[in-house]
């Protein structure tokens, strides 16, 4: 009864922000990188008119799901739907990326997984230098990820697909590995998640001739809890740079398999209590109230 009263008071006092928070401990996945993470599946380039358009085709694997949410550009949880980077990679034309097929695959393969909270942060055409600590994209990623956590979520992993822009210049390709390591280490440090699982995509295309150099850096990153999913062999749009819609669906499923395989199997415990205590739900509710109050003070 007490928990019901507290929840009712909470919903009445904070009708907008706190109701958005109560997505039952969202499992947070950060989506970062450049255009192939933001999604260009189904996007075509009309060279005669100089415009790019998305065909609007959403495959079944990318359909909205009542258990999948996304953090919008204005830091509100909303139901996720394609293109999920439309208000983040806002200066480009976005289409299908791997995020929705990833989330749907996780939920279909693990029906007890819970609710997924996607935090889109990818921006097309960005080099790894633009993702270093102190740069706008880095600070935005940290801000959005921290907001997702403070609104009641739990970090699960970061999905990272970037590097095509670093294949243009030999010096950038040679410096890529060190910059990538620094980025991963700084993100983990600033999110207070030293072992945050990172699933990076080894690129299979690039804007320049140094694709193999960047791929080698990705495949040999040598950091704990960083796993590589190889995009080599997936089909591309006619531009030869961006993955097609079916390829993005497949990539999302590959990332989901890699993530689920990384989760340790729960070991049964004979010490578990037979009667649950009321302390846990009351503590959780109290924590949510303080989180809501913190958000009001911080974000107005």
Q: Catalytic residue positions? A: 35, 239, 242
What are the CA-CA distances from residue 238 to residues 41, 43, 91, 190 (Å)? 11, 10, 21, 39
CA dist 186 and 195 (Å) reads 12
First-last CA distance in the chain = 31
For helices 170-190 and 136-150, angle between their N-to-C axes, nearest 10 degrees: 30
Q: How many Cβ atoms sit within 10 Å of the Cβ of residue 269?
A: 6
Angle at 129 between CA 80 and CA 87, to 5 degrees: 25
Q: For residue 241, give both structure tokens.
A: 């740079």
DSSP state of 160: E
In terms of phi and psi (left: phi > 0; alpha: psi -120 to 50; beta: otherwise), the region of 41 is: beta
Name every residue whose Cβ is closer than 8 Å to that of residue 290 and which is 6 or more positions away in sequence: none
CA dist 48 and 118 (Å) reads 36
CA dist 161 and 32 (Å) reads 7
From the number of C-beta atoms within 10 Å of its C-beta (0-12, 13-18, 19+), residue 278 rates as exposed
CA dist 158 and 29 (Å) reads 6
**Element spanning 97, H or E:** none
Q: For residue 128, give both structure tokens.
A: 């790894």
């Amino acid at each position: 009864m007490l928990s019901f009263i507290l929840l009712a008071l909470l919903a009445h006092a904070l009708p907008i922000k706190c109701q958005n928070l109560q997505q039952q401990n969202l499992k947070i996945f950060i989506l970062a990188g450049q255009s192939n993470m933001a999604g260009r599946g189904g996007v075509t380039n009309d060279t005669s008119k100089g415009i790019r358009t998305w065909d609007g085709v959403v495959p079944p694997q990318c359909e909205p799901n009542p258990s999948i949410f996304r953090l919008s550009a204005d830091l509100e949880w909303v139901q996720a739907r394609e293109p999920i980077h439309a208000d983040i990679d806002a200066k480009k034309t976005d289409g299908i990326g791997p995020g929705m097929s990833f989330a749907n695959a996780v939920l279909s393969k693990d029906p007890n997984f819970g609710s997924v909270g996607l935090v889109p942060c990818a921006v097309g055409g960005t080099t790894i230098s633009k993702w270093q600590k102190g740069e706008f994209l880095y600070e935005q990623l940290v801000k959005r990820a921290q907001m997702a956590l403070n609104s009641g979520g739990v970090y699960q992993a970061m999905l990272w697909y970037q590097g095509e822009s670093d294949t243009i210049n030999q010096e950038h390709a040679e410096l890529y590995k060190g910059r990538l390591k620094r980025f991963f280490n700084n993100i983990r440090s600033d999110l207070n998640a030293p072992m945050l699982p990172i699933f990076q995509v080894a690129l299979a295309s690039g804007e320049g001739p140094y694709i193999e150099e960047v791929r080698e850096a990705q495949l040999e990153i040598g950091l704990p809890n960083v796993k590589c999913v190889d995009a080599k062999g997936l089909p591309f749009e006619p531009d030869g740079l961006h993955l097609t819609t079916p390829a993005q669906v497949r990539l999302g499923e590959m990332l989901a398999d890699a993530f689920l395989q990384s989760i340790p199997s729960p070991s049964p415990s004979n010490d578990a209590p037979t009667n649950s205590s009321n302390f846990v739900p009351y503590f959780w509710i109290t924590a949510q109230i303080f989180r809501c109050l913190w958000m009001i003070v911080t974000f107005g």
